[in-house]
Each structure stands twice: as structure tokens, then as C-alpha cells.
Structure 1
Amino acid sequence: MSPHNGHPNHEHMPRRGVIATLAMMAAGLCLLFPAGCGNEKALSFRQAQITHIRQSVVKVYVTIQRPDYRMPWQGGRPGGGTGTGFLIAGRRILTNAHIISDASQIQVQKDGDSRLWPARVAAVAHDCDLALLTVDDPVFFESMSHLPIAESMPTLNDEVTVYGYPLGGDRLSITRGVVSRLDYGVYVHSGVDQHLVMQVDAAINPGNSGGPVIFRKQVVGVAFQGLEMAENIGYVIPVPVVRRFLEDMQDDQYHGYPELGALCFSRRNEALMKALQLPATDNGPVVMYVDPYGNAYGRLNARDVLLTIDDHPIQDDGTVLMNGNSVDFHEIIELKQHGTTVRFEVWRDMQRITVEVPLSVPDDPFIFRTRYDQTPECVMMAGLVFTVLTRNHFTLLGRDWSDRYAAQWLYFSQYAKMDNLYKQFDEFVVLSNILPHPVNTHCHGFRHGIVTGANGHPVRNLADLRQALESPTNGFHIIQFAGLQDWMVLPADEVRKAETEIASSYELPDPEAP
């Protein structure tokens, strides 16, 4: 953009350029003055459409207090933020989960209205970064109209419009861009869940999140994340993910996404094809690992070749063709709900077989999603703070990945199931913090370690640790950690004497109080 707000610098324009420009202006006069060209109705219609959408879009204000994983008994520092939402059928406001997560107060504001209306969460889906809000005061919905949700996605190069309240101003922002990519990617909010993503070349900045993305007067997605260090690249939760979330909520309860739990790799190796004796006319990825908590466990096997899914042929790279787009075959499972089934045609032991997999949402403690809206549990003794390892704990390390336990945390969180660690643990208990006191001065080398045993008892979970610490061994508390031969040893009498002093110094609940 030039120093003149994007207009060309006319000072040095050649004379013939000026004449040519005047001629073009004369020829295109009706473009500059649409009223004289019969376009007034078109403009009026478009303005009415924008007005209709503006009446449906709200600004969301939140007060947030994240948990403090170093000191779980107290909340973190309160903060605030803003985002966008929009009204859909049923007097519900659709927005992003990351806007309202850990919020202690939520308010919404209509366009052109200075009043802030108290709102509450009606449903939240952290695995797909969507949430529903509602306002109890029926007056709020007067003069508002809901936006319809489209049945299908736009195609590549279709122009869409993004509405929202990005940071830097209080007024509604309207930007346009084209659909540049449809892909399958990680949703930053949970850190692990992968769903369909629509990329647009319209900037999506903080505050835009939760805003509707419109195509042909219908919502085709929800703006939800941008790309750092890149201009005019925004990401949208596309309409299939939105519709699935709303369908899941039909019984007023969110169940979540079924997890197949089959890790596959591309079958492009000629030697592998011969080893599997797969006919040359067949395609499909090869299963290399089946998650013990996944729906495929006991139904699919390692070295199975997945040929089709619900009659959709699967290519060697694991993609299928859906609505003219090539997407990962998991997208077919993504669209299914808890309690349904998916059917595979599989090449196993030199024959084609059909395998049906019932789909459910597993209770898997080893999916390391970022946690929200819950206070972390902890066990404290002698100023030692023990908690359950979660994805949130990685923020304790900050940028200091030189911590010797960082690699251990990463290994345990990523390979708990593949390396059978889950057989020894229900969850991983870590020493997340040490409140300095003379009784624990020698313990700092164990900070961030993963507990495997205490006082002669194995520690599978936090409850095991709590119970084990009630019974010292020969007058000492002895705690073992993964990967270390040294034990942490604390005299039980000194620990008992120090508890009240530590509680007073750090404003903890008095352990001797009734």
C-alpha cells in the first residue's frame, strides 16, 4: 500500500495516462454512479442482507481465571478477553469454546446496543472448539434473527465473508476472502484433536474467533484460529463439524467424538505389497498399531489393509473422495455419532473380509488434551505438590525445555499406550512444585519427576499416593520416581512438625484444622 492510503500517486502520472484514465472514467461512469445504471435495488438488497447478519452477530466479553498448576489450591490471576458469537435457531449463540473456557463471567453485546447482557454456557465441546451460550432475559432476543446453517461447504476459490469483532476497535468488522484449502488438521484449543479445517485468505485476528463465515446468505463455518507470522491466512471450523456438534446436542448432552484408535501408514512400498500378498488392483493404508482404548481394539489388527470405509474406496495415502474433495478417511468417522457403527472392507490373511466397528467415546486418561473448566486435584506433603500430569503442565516448563524431566513428560504423554506404560498406571502423578522449607531442601532434584511408588506401595494414580503417604515406612516417607535409582526420603516426624508452618507461610488450609 502506498503512503496515500492505497491510492496511486498522481503527481508524476504521464499526460496520456491522465487522458486514458479520464476516458475509462467516462466509459465506466455508471459503475461510479450505480443509481443511474439500475443497480440501486441490488445495492439495497445487499445492504439489507448485511443488516440482517449484523443483527445476529454479538460481541462476547469474558472474565477468565485459569487454574494455577503450580499452586492448584488457588486460582490463577484473573484476566479478560473478547470474542464473537452469532445467533442460531433455538435462541442459542454459537461461538468458540476457547473464548469462554475457564470463564467466571460472560456477557454479550448486540451490534449498536451499549448494554451488556449476562450470558451462560449451555454446552461446550473442547474437542472441536465450539460452544453454545444462552441469555435468560427474553428481551435480549427482540429485534434479532438467527442465521441459517448451510448443508454443505463452499468449494475452493468461492468467496466468503467473515464477520467479527477483532481487537483494535469496538465496531463490527466485515472482511472477504476466498476458500484456499480444505484440510484435516489439529485444533489448537485441545492440542490433540484433528478435524476438518477450511483455510481462507481473509485475516482472522484475536477477537474474530467465534464469528460467522457466510456464503450465499448461510453460515458455512466459524472463524477460530489464525497463523502466526503470516498475513491474510485464517482458519475456519467448517459446516460439517458445526452441524455434527449441533446434532450431538439434540439430547441436550454433548457426547464427543468416537475414537477409532487405528494408526495407519501409507502402503506405497512394493516389498510390503508382496509380503501382504495384496492384489495389485487393491489400495489402502496398512494398520500399524491399534489403541487399547480405541473402538478398533479387538476388531482391527496390525497389518490389516483398509480397502473401503462405508463403501468409500480408501487410497494408499488414507484419503477418500467426499463431495468432490479428497479428505482423510477418518473424516467419515468424524461425521458419525456416539452409538453408531462404521464398516470396513479389510485385506487380512490373504482374503477380503468385512469388519464392523461400533463407535463410542472412550474414557481414555491417556489422551493428553488441554484441560479446561476444572480445578486440578493435588496431594501436598512437606511443601511438595503432587498433581496429575496433563497437557497443561507443559506450560510450567515455559520455553525452558532444558529441564531434564521435559523429555520424560513428552515420552510418557506420547507413548503411554504404545510402550504399554498404561498397564502400570491409571494416570501419571508428578511432583509439580516445591514450596521451599528446610524440611524439603534436598528434594529439588526430584521436581517434575513422575512418581512410581511411595512407602512400599505402587502409585497408579493420585489416590494411591494419598493413601500411601498415610503410612510411613519405619518412620520415613520414601518416594520413588521413574528413571531414577535414588529415592526421596523424608523423616515423618519432621514432616509432621513442618506442615502447620508451611500452611501458614503459603496460606494453605491448616492440616490440623478440624
Structure 2
Amino acid sequence: MQVLVCSNSCSLNLNMNSVKSQLFMGRRELLSTLCSSGSHNDIVSHKPISVLRKVGERMVDLGEIIIGKSIPLATRRVLLASLVACWSYHPSWHLSAQTLGDPSVTVEDVTPPVFPSGALFPSEERTVQLFEKNTYSVVNIFDITLRPQLNVTGAVEIPEGNGSGVVWDELGHIVTNYHVIGNSLSRNPSPGQVVARVNILASEGVQKNFEGKLIGADRSKDLAVLKVEASEDLLRPIKVGQSSSLRVGQQCLAIGNPFGFDHTLTVGVISGLNRDIFSQTGVTIGGGIQTDAAINPGNSGGPLLDSKGNLIGINTAIFTQTGTSAGVGFAIPSSTVLKIVPQLIQFGKAVRAGLNIEVAPDLIANQLNVRKGALILQVPGNSLAAKAGLLPTTRGFAGNIVLGDIILAVDNRSVKNKGELYKSLDEYNVGDKVILKIQRGGENMDLPVILEEISS
């Protein structure tokens, strides 16, 4: 029987007796056959087998490449494995993979034409102009007690205390959120003490750094005022608009420094009004503006603008469980900002009008079976509320609880709980007279009361 294996010019004549003696070879013997100068008697095949491949301008036998002209394979399976190894390791294989391409074309032939962008659409042009005009009124604020740090991957981690702010006037007053500098404020700094670093964008596009000195802060409204010693050419005050005339669906824009990326613009619409904002300071702020404009950590303290570029709110919170924007953001309305900020500048604190009474928390009121209204627990004897005749909750002779007055409405505006009472009184000033509708025992009555200053 004649068998031709891995040779260009010679064939091997084998007799069947020598073949049969090699049919049951072990793996080590097969490998030894491939790696050594074996005998022609180790060949097992019943058909002539020859595998040729063109390399350059000549034909090369793959068997010759792998084991030499005189080294045959033991079985078809070993032959196939040899072919695979040849194709994998032969230099010509890698050379062809590295030289893919079409030399008949040039770079110019495969480069498409570039068309000019042309003029922007009117809506785009208006948005661009609003950003370019108002971005200089937005500053970057860093709590001095917090520093950006490099993590193990080399990326800069931006502390939570970094945020945004707006230039309020040409005197250098900067408005931001209380929680943006909350870490510094937790140390009870005195007015005029440096609590933050403020970066202001100059006309040439350079960020200029200033010390931010504390002027005043109001935790209950999540607002704070800083002051920087900057030249008037750097201070471009924001234009304040009316949040009371907002309508759901109108366009709005948010500018801030999310994740440390300075002066970032996001666009959306007003998606809700009069929302209760659960601030990071742990208080609830009424009358909030809800928007789907992306607000992320770092946007806090920055402006929410209407389509005319007027300030309608201060971005303060996002509603999410991941810490990033989920399409629901909130801003403190400009009506609240206009009321609180001038007081912070003048007095260093917010002068808030109220009744100077202690109202029962909702949980305690429910335990006392008060389902509607604000239950009065205590009334200081020297307060205007006491002079007006409001009664506190007391204990009877037998130790039983005697409920005090329950406030049901303020100037015919219904009050359901403690939060709604404070929200109603926020709209008044010190010295204003209001008519309280109260429940005393089993009867309702109207009681006029003059509001006085209460501590924030």
C-alpha cells in the first residue's frame, strides 16, 4: 500500500505489517514522533495525503514546515492538529493579518465631504444666548472644610459640599444653599468668617478664586449668603423673576457645576408647582418648583431660569435613590428667595413671623385623637398669642389631658396639620394681624392675633 504524507517530491512505500504494529500508539509516543526524527514505518493512512500552501511565489508543504520532509504524522487527527498549528504560527499568516487594506485608494478618496453647520434654529439661538448671558452670574462654591481627593484609580472625587451659587448684587453677595456649606456652618462660624472658596468666571474664560465670608444663613429655608471681595467687572448680578406666575409646561433652564464640571446647562420644563421639598438639612420647604431639567450633586445653589433668563428658583434637591438625576428636581421659588435673602444680608438671619407657640407634632396629635388642625401644646405667658387668649394643652385635677386650642384655619385658609400652619404663616410679616379659626372644646370660634418675630 502506498501512502504520501507531507512531502513535495517523495512518496513512502509501507507494508501492512509494519503499519499494524503502530496502530495503538500512546499520546506520548505520538508527540515523540512529531518532535523527533521518526521512522517511515510510523505512518498510518490508507489514502495519499498531501497538503500544500502557497507562500510567496512557491508552493510549500505544510507537513514539511511542521516536522520536516522526513518526519511523517501518525494519524489523520494529528495531521489536522498540525495544520491548525501551522496556520496559527506561520509568519505569513500574521503578516497577511497586519497588512489588510486597499492600496488602490487614497485617504482623500475615503474622506467624506464636511458641510458647514449653518445658522442655528431660533429656539437654539435663544438658548445659547441665555446661557452665554447668565453663565457669568453663576459661581462655583467649595466648602473650605472639604477638599477634592484622588481615589485609588487616580480620578478626582468631588466632595458633597461642593455646589453652585448666584451673584446677587454688585456688592459681592453670593446666594447659595445652606447645605452646600453645611459642614462649615455646623462649626457655628461667626459672621464675616471665611467658610467657602468661590470661583467666579471672568470674561476671558478664566476662573478667579475668592474667599467667601459668611453673611447669614437660614437652615429652615436652605439658603445662605456669602460675600466676596471682587471687582465690579466680575460681578454680574442675576435678574430675578416672578415664581408666582409660573405654569406647568413652560420651559426652564438650570445652570450649575454638577460633579465638579463647571458651568453646565440643562434644559427642561416646569413639571410641578407648590411641592414640599425635603431638604438635605432635614427640613421641609413649601411651595417648591418641580422640574425635569437634570439636577445633579453640584447643581445645588445654582439658578433655575425661565425662558427669558430670569431667576425663578434656586436648585436645591433631587428625588432619587441613586444620588443622580432621575428626572425629578426641585428648586426654592424666587418669591421665598426674595423674602429671605434681604433679611440675611441685613440681620444675618431670617426674621420670621409667627405665633410664638409650641404646636404638637403630627404623631402626638394623632395619639390625642386630633385628626384635623394644629394642636397647641404650650403658650408662653408673655407672648402676643397668650394676650390674644390662645389656650395650651393642660392636665386636669384627675391627671387627664385637657386639649388646648386647635387651629383650623388662618384667614379662612384651611390648616390640616403643623406643617400647613407654618406654611400659611410664612406669607406674613412681623406685626401683621391674622384671624385664627380655632376649635375649643366642642365649639369653633374666630380669634384675632398679631404675629410676632420667632426664632428660625
**TM-score of the superposition, structure 1-length normalised?**
0.49
- Counterpart mapping for 1:105-144 below 5 A: 105-111=195-201, 112-139=205-232, 141=234, 144=236
1:68-113 deviation per Cα after TM superposition (whole angstroms, max 9, x unaligned) = xxxxxxxxxxx78421111123532211111123435522223422
* Inter-CA distance 136–304: structure 2 relative to 1 (3 Å threshold): same
- Counterpart mapping for 1:315-334 below 5 A: 317=416, 328-334=420-426
Q: Unaligned 5+ residue runs, structure 2? A: 1-115, 148-158, 185-193, 393-402
1:54 maps to amino acid: T
Question: Alignment partner of 2:453: what SS?
Answer: coil
Q: Identify the residue that residue 248 of structure 1 maps to in structure 2.
A: 343
Q: Does 1:262 align with 2:262?
A: no
Structure 1 counterpart of 2:270, from 178, 200, 205: 178
* Inter-CA distance 149–123: structure 2 relative to 1 (3 Å threshold): farther
Displacement of 1:356 after TM fit?
A: 0.8
Q: Identify the residue that residue 327 of structure 2 maps to in structure 1.
A: 232
Displacement of 1:222 after TM fit?
A: 0.6
2:198 maps to amino acid: V
- Counterpart mapping for 1:282-321 below 5 A: 285-292=372-379, 296=385, 299-301=390-392, 302=403, 304=405, 306-310=407-411, 312-314=412-414, 317=416
- Does structure 1 conserve the Cα–Cα contact (< 8 Å) formed by 2:225 and 2:341? no
Question: Alignment partner of 1:84: what SS?
Answer: strand
- Counterpart mapping for 1:412-423 below 5 A: none
Displacement of 1:362 after TM fit?
A: 4.1
Larger C-alpha radius of gyration, 1 or 2? 2
Q: Does 1:201 align with 2:292?
A: yes
Displacement of 1:156 after TM fit?
A: 2.8
- Counterpart mapping for 1:6-21 below 5 A: none
Question: Alignment partner of 2:133: what SS?
Answer: helix
* Inter-CA distance 155–359: structure 2 relative to 1 (3 Å threshold): farther
Displacement of 1:57 after TM fit?
A: 0.9
Question: Alignment partner of 2:206: what SS?
Answer: coil
Q: Unaligned 5+ residue runs, structure 1? A: 1-31, 67-78, 274-283, 320-326, 364-514
Whole-Å Cα distance in 2 between the matches of residues 115 and 185 of structure 1? 33
- Does structure 2 conserve the Cα–Cα contact (< 8 Å) formed by 1:125 and 1:256? no
* Inter-CA distance 154–243: structure 2 relative to 1 (3 Å threshold): same
1:391-411 deviation per Cα after TM superposition (whole angstroms, max 9, x unaligned) = xxxxxxxxxxxxxxxxxxxxx
* Inter-CA distance 248–117: structure 2 relative to 1 (3 Å threshold): closer
Q: Identify the residue that residue 85 of structure 1 maps to in structure 2.
A: 165
1:262 maps to amino acid: V
Q: How many matched pairs?
A: 292
Displacement of 1:46 after TM fit?
A: 4.1
1:384-436 deviation per Cα after TM superposition (whole angstroms, max 9, x unaligned) = xxxxxxxxxxxxxxxxxxxxxxxxxxxxxxxxxxxxxxxxxxxxxxxxxxxxx
Q: CA RMSD in A?
A: 3.8
Displacement of 1:341 after TM fit?
A: 4.2
Whole-Å Cα distance in 2 between the matches of residues 127 and 330 of structure 1? 11
**TM-score of the superposition, structure 2-length normalised?**
0.54
Displacement of 1:145 after TM fit?
A: 4.1
Whole-Å Cα distance in 2 between the matches of residues 158 and 80 of structure 1? 31
User: Kindly, what percent of the aligned residue pairs are identical?
Assistant: 19
- Does structure 2 conserve the Cα–Cα contact (< 8 Å) formed by 1:159 and 1:178? yes
Q: Identify the residue that residue 178 of structure 2 maps to in structure 1.
A: 97
- Does structure 2 conserve the Cα–Cα contact (< 8 Å) formed by 1:214 and 1:220? yes
